[in-house]
Structure 1
Amino acid sequence: MNDCRKFYKSLIICIFSIAMILNIGLPVYAAVYTVPSDSGEADTVYVAGNPNTYPLEYYSKEDKAFCGVFPDMLKVVSEKTGISFTYISASFENRQKELSRNNQVELLTVLSDKQNECKVNELLPVLKFYSKGENTTYCIGFTEITSPELIGKIKNAFSEISEEEKMGFLLANSSNDPELNNKDRLIKIIISSISFLIVICGIIAIVAVKRKKHSNQDSMIDELTGIGNAEYYNYAFEKLLSRQSKNLYAVVYLACEVEKISIECGEKTIKEIERYAAAQLNSKIASAEYLARINDGVFVMLIQAPTEKECASKMFEVVDNLNLYLQEFYPNMANAFSAGASRLCEHPDCNAETAFYNAKQGYFAALRSNTSAVITCESHLTQDRRQGKLRKDVANAVTDGEFRVYLQFINENKSGKICGAEALSRWQNKEYGILRPHEYISILKETGQIIAHDYKMFSAVCSQLEIWNAEPYNRLFLTCNFTRTSLSQNDFFDRISEISSNYKFERRRLVLEITEDSIAENSKAVSENISKCRRAGFKIAIDDMGTGFSSFADLYDNEIDLVKIDGEFIASCTSERRQTMLSNIITLVHKSGAKVLCEGVENLGQAEFLNTINCDMMQGFYFSKILPLVECEKFLKNENITENSTLIKSE
């Protein structure tokens, strides 16, 4: 509402200013009494007018009367007070000086800068306007014969006339210049109209620019947190940092593992964490530094850090304080955020996108090294270029069979012999050689190739089981890993049924390994697929038990044949307390009807201990390296293969 008032007021003032400059306007409002003599009626106030101050006050030859803004305002004062006003000695000659000095009038009109030319006791400012490049004030001058009571009435009446009314009188009288002929008046009216349109267009343009500016500002605000967004980061980097000052800044990429937190706590928690994080980061940022939320769980900061030491110190402080702050609200969520930083002095010509990308590589390096923050260096960028090339090649690699099956054999405790093997994926890359899963699993997920990869591995395992259909190899089982993405598909069972139908082998010899986080994320779909697979004859194993994603309720809620306890958990069982806990877990699994396989067995001491607590099977480098298929049969000997596998024979 205030903006509208300001707009219309500005418009009116612009129009009046143009009218004053051009001396044009609209028809006359009214006039007051005028007499040619030096006196008038006894009950009126005598006024000395200035015949030459158009359009404020002038003598009209045609009307033989004083006209203009002041006569119109005096008429209003007359209506308010009952006082009559009469201009005396009316002509084209200005007699104000003479009439005031002779005390023949009570009031006269006078410009503020010419008051000394006339004899006045008191001035009443009535109208301010712009004329001939200057701001001028027009006043009512009271002579010494004007009574205080009369002055008071006139002052009060003038004070009740609003500025809008005064401007209306000015506009109404601005076209009646007696010196103009009709042709001149028409020309000025045309010029006035054009000027008016120019003013209107200018005002509209100003309003549009302001609205666009506000719109641009709104578009740079993140709706969830109220801080800047990706557009704001780009604006700050490109517009607010000068080329010289960029060398003093570093870009910090902060992120939390959204997928992991979502599984554990839900989507709502992610949003809450982001709001808390934004508030904390915003409270710590300096006046010449900038903060933005880029997407889910990802923030970026432009911080002042002239040296590498300052950059590291500030980044670690920011991340550590943020994680401590979040732990106040989520005690079980330690080190939720990690960070990477890129110092702009090392890449002076990079743009906002490249700087962000470089900082992100430091973040990935922090995750790989299990630390809270890392400053990006050239080796990180080299590593990312390598990952970029692998990302480009991965689709063809899946299609062309570059992913090969390797096996690590499993020993049965009861017989001390080999009972089966776990099928593991390796990428035989033409440029980089044999790559292990941690080097490419994330790439498979990012590119959407993980499902195709899983089914390729499954097909290869089925083929190997068919090859091992004869004695003594038909006593062995193989386990095949499936990621959460594959296992959650509605057509999972249909796909593996179709693939396995092309091979002849006993279905109970194939164990489908699922990670416990698979059950936690999509329990309904996974449970249905588990039931269908088990009814078809396949065995089911939970992989990596002990990594913290699921509870033992999942073991009882699903038909599980084998539980694989994670190698890191086995390695940590060095105290009596932990060993007792592991023994109790194995007992609990046995009561559910499942068998137990302990992974990561590296030495004889571990093997002997696991044997004493009734672990069914063991797997690790103490028993077998990870071997390509061509070397597996050389490793296997008839006397090393169990006669009667506990897992296969159990129903």
Structure 2
Amino acid sequence: MKLRTRLPLLVIPLIAGPLLLAGLLAFIALRQSAEQKSTDQISALVSRLDDQLQLLSHVATANIDIFSDDPLVKSYLLTSDAEERYDLLQRPLLQKLASIQRVYPDYYEIRILQPDGFEDLRLQNRDQPNLTEEEADSPGFLAMRHADQDTLVRIGINPDNQELALYVSRRISLINPAFESFSTPPKLRGYLSLTISLQSLLENLSPSPWPQGSLILTDAQGTLLAASQEIDSARLLGDYDLSPGITVLQSKSQIDLHGQSYQHHVKCLMDGLWLHLLIPEADLFKESRNIGLLVLLICLVAISISVPLLLVLIRNRFLKPVERLNQALAAMGKQSQLIQVPVQSEDEIGELSRSFNRMSLDLHQSSEQIHNLAFRDSLTGLPNRLMFIKTLRREIETARQRRGRFALLFLDLDNFKHVNDTLGHPAGDQLLIKVTEIFQSNLRGYDYLSRPVGIEVDRDMARLGGDEFTLLLNHPEAEHLAGPVAERVIKALSEPIDLDGTACYVGCSVGIAIYPDDGRTVEDLVKHADLAMYQAKARGRSTYQFFSSAIAAHSQQRVLLDQRLHTAVETLNFQLHYQPIIDSRSMRVVSVEALIRWNDPELGQVPPDRFIPLAEENGLILPIGAWVMEEAARQLAAWKKAGLPPLRVAINVSSLQLGQSGFARQITQVLNKYQLSAGDLYVELTETAVLQGREQVLENLYALRSLGIQIALDDFGTGYSSLSYLQTLPIDILKIDRSFILNLQENNNGVILSAIITMAHSLGMQVVAEGVEDHDHLAFLIAEGCDLLQGYLFSTPLPAGEIERLLNLPLPEVI
């Protein structure tokens, strides 16, 4: 059998069966919903009637207790003389009872009965005959007379008007104080009875929620007391006896009346009063039956429409997918974008489509991965150096053809190495990711004036490697916008960056090169932007710098200086000069500070403040520092051997040296090599080296202290000058920066110097004053108790041979 024939045979039962089943389930659910709705309505109605009746009964019971306790009622019943009772008390009592009826108009009969059942007094607010003046044998009086409690509540038909009424009666027993003692048991004096209209209750019976149904009130024997007025309940019931349903407090049954099925609900409202609800099942399930027929009609219409439509859809979904797969296979070999076909079925065609999609996706992802590996930075997702070079080359070509201009910004993080070394490489990677996010949030499409500049971070920004980034600013006003954009980046990175609870400050320096002014090739633009960035760092970091010819010249000088410094390190072409340090009490030279000097054959005398920062930057400070330590120890050993007076040598140490794990061991080896003691040398370091120190720096400082080598803090007052590290770090000597001494008379420097000397002494430190150049400086420092003095007043830094001569001269000749 062909598929064209099989499809209708399979589709028709598959569609018709579920639809018909759904219709049947819907009909059942609707029928159950109708029954539940009816039950809820019945419960609500019964609760409303029950609550109303209970409320009426409770209020009447409370009221009759109050009424029977009224002194006028008591006096009336205690007066045995009928003539006296009628003449003196009946009128005021009637007025009293009339006032009660005005408040409670439903109490349409208020009666007082004698103990023998004679109705002694009646007050009614209706025009109706009194047919029951003598009630000694009436069922109501007999029930009241034999009741276990003083108050009796009952439902019954009022014989005077044949209406259903609520009777509330109160037995009144009193002591006559005029003739009886208070210890005498109270005697029955009569009864107070309220006849209460139930009209408000009966009004709830009509209209019935079910037009063909009926609500009926009966007594315990099933006698009809009241009913809703939509239909003739008596005719509806005919000879049917309602009493069999009065067996439990609440029941439900199904009965047949005049050939029609009814649901019979029975509920006891109170003793002697029962509520019957007769609901035709035809009315009850009419709505669900109509909706069920509608559902059946909808199912048939759905079958007649869906079957032909589904046949067409299946035909299209079997034949056309094959054609789409063929077309997709042909296109996949010609196009680079992702090719996918829709999966429309779960059969072999659908599986074939999914397999094709998986194959196409894998090929596309592999292609994207290869592209990303080649052109994207794996950490930040930004274009890498290779992609940047391609983009920059394309921008140069476009600008050359259109005679355009653009700016290249070279960005370098200022404090990344410190964060990376201190917190570890994972923290450094996290920092780079967050920095990239900051770039994206601050550069996406706008400069600092919120003017569109066409920046697309994922396209125009690149990470060249490490902490270096580049940004292409392609805009007609790029030359004017580059500075504000750089300021915006620098400002954004000036805020602390949270790395797992640690606030890190990195900052950023930016170099800017403009095409074509600063270069027409990729190499020139990158080189010049890089040079401008280094100039920005030299200016104090966290700033930007445009490239200029002066920067190029400075760069050439820097390159030459770097080359010559490497040569000097290889040949050890350095000398040490020594500047004396004087004891302020004995005015004798007690130590010297070793200061490096470099006289290059090509550059001449190069100042330390020029080559030392370069050496710290390129790492040459480590071999230079090792040479200084070795040479200073050798010279000190030679002086000792020559019999010169005892002398100590201070050696300046870089933070990079302190960051080496074997630094303390290195000093120990040098001391042992030249047979020196720990007290012969002490090290000097700057505040910056301490504050930027890592854990290894602090470990080395404490190791030096444990060896007995003293530590001097140089240039105190020029850095952060935090008092906390003076208390916690192993510092023995405090060297006050020469700027305080030279400007002694300015800006309260004298007061500050006095405070520093006093503070250092209180912490157990010695104080060295640098820059002592005249006798006024000397006199002030001696008066303030400064321990050690150093400056041109005594001597400039001298070669070792001249230090020997200086030590042999009397001090007055030195000054």
Q: TM-score, normalised by structure 1?
A: 0.61
Residues matched between the structures, number? 487
Residues 138-178 of structure 1 deviation map (CA, whole Å, 9 limit, x = unaligned): xxxxxxxxxxxxx9998754422365532535799x9xxxx
Q: Is residue 311 of structure 2 the alignment partner of residue 161 of structure 1?
A: yes
Name the CA distance, whole Å, in 2 between partners of 1:421 and 1:574: 28
Letter of the 1:320 counterpart: E
Evaluate the alpha carbon distance shift between residue 30 and residue 483 of structure 1 in structure 2; reply closer, same or farther with a 3 A threshold: closer
2:405 is aligned to 248
The change in CA–CA distance for 1:323 and 1:601 in structure 2 (over 3 A counts) is farther
Q: Does 1:369 find its partner at 2:539? A: yes
1:524 CA displacement? 5.5
> C-alpha offsets along residues 87-117 of structure 1, whole Å, 9 cap, x if unaligned?
xxxxxxxxxxxxxxxxxxxxxxxxxxxxxxx
2:461 to 291, 294, 297: 291
Q: Which residue of 1 aligns with 2:367?
A: 212
Preserved contact between residue 342 and residue 359 of structure 1 (Cα < 8 Å): yes
The residue aligned with 1:647 is none
Q: 2:683 is paired with a residue of what secondary structure? A: strand
For residues 169-216 of structure 1, give each alpha carbon's deviation from its aligned partner in whole angstroms, at most 9, with x where no partner exists: 5799x9xxxxxxxxxxxxxxxxxx999976675666797356524663
Relative contact order (alpha carbons < 8 A, sep ≥ 6): 1 or 2 greater?
Answer: 1
Q: How does 1:157-556 map to 2 (within 5 A)?
A: 157-161=307-311, 163=313, 165-166=315-316, 168=318, 208-209=363-364, 211-213=366-368, 216-217=371-372, 228-245=383-400, 248-258=405-415, 262=419, 275-276=437-438, 279-282=441-444, 284-285=446-447, 286-287=453-454, 290-295=460-465, 297-304=467-474, 311=479, 313-326=480-493, 336-351=507-522, 354-370=524-540, 372-392=543-563, 394-415=565-586, 418-469=589-640, 473-505=644-676, 507-521=678-692, 525-534=696-705, 536-548=707-719, 551-556=722-727
Q: Secondary structure at the match of 2:652?
A: strand
Cα pair 2:518 2:524 within 8 Å, conserved: no
Q: What SS does the corresponding residue of 1:614 show, helix, strand or coil?
A: coil
Cα displacement (A) at 1:581: 3.5
Q: Report the CA distance between 1:456 and its aligned residue.
A: 0.8
- 1:362–1:380 contact (8 Å) kept in structure 2: yes
Structure 2 CA distance for aligned equivalents of residues 379 and 407 of structure 1: 36
Q: Is the 8 A contact 2:741 2:771 kept in 1?
A: yes
Counterpart amino acid of residue 287 in structure 1? G
Which amino acid counterpart does residue 316 of structure 2 have in structure 1?
Answer: K
- Equivalent residue of 2:512, what SS? strand
Question: 1:53-132 residue pairs with structure 2 within 5 A?
Answer: none
Unaligned runs of 5+ in 2: 17-300, 340-358, 448-452, 498-502
Letter in 1 for 2:530: K
Pair 1:30–1:362, CA change in 2 (3 A)? closer
1:263–1:520 CA contact under 8 A, matched in 2: no
The one-character-per-residue Cα deviations of 1:57-93 (angstroms, maximum 9, x if unpaired) are: xxxxxxxxxxxxxxx98888998999xxxxxxxxxxx
Query: Given that residues 735 and 769 in structure 2 are in contact (C-alpha distance below 8 angstroms), is that contact kept between their aligned partners in structure 1?
Result: yes
Aligned residue number for residue 10 of structure 1: none
Q: 1:581 to 1:632 in 2, by over 3 A?
A: same
Q: Hey, what's the Cα distance between the residues in 2 that align with 1:603 and 1:318?
A: 51
Q: Which amino acid aligns with 2:414?
A: E
* CA shift in 2, pair 1:546/1:200, >3 Å: same
Contact 2:415–2:505 (CA<8 Å) still a contact in 1? no
1:511 and 1:459 map into 2 onto residues whose CA distance is 13
Larger Rg: 2
**Which deviations, in whole Å up to 9, do the C-alpha atoms of 1:472-527 show, x marking residues without a partner?**
84343221112222223332232222223332555423222233444445565445
- 1:242 is aligned with what amino acid? E
Q: 1:213 to 1:408 in 2, by over 3 A?
A: same
Checking the alignment, whether the CA contact within 8 Å between 2:408 and 2:471 is kept in structure 1 is yes
Residue in structure 2 matched with residue 23 of structure 1 by the alignment:
none
CA contact (8 A) 2:744 2:777 kept: no
Do residues 29 (structure 1) and 2 (structure 2) align?
yes
Contact residue 585 and residue 787 of structure 2 kept, 8 A: yes
Contact 1:363 1:374 in 2 (8 A): yes
Map of 1:639 onto structure 2: 810
* Residue 301 (structure 1) shift: 1.8
1:453, distance to aligned residue in structure 2 (A): 1.7
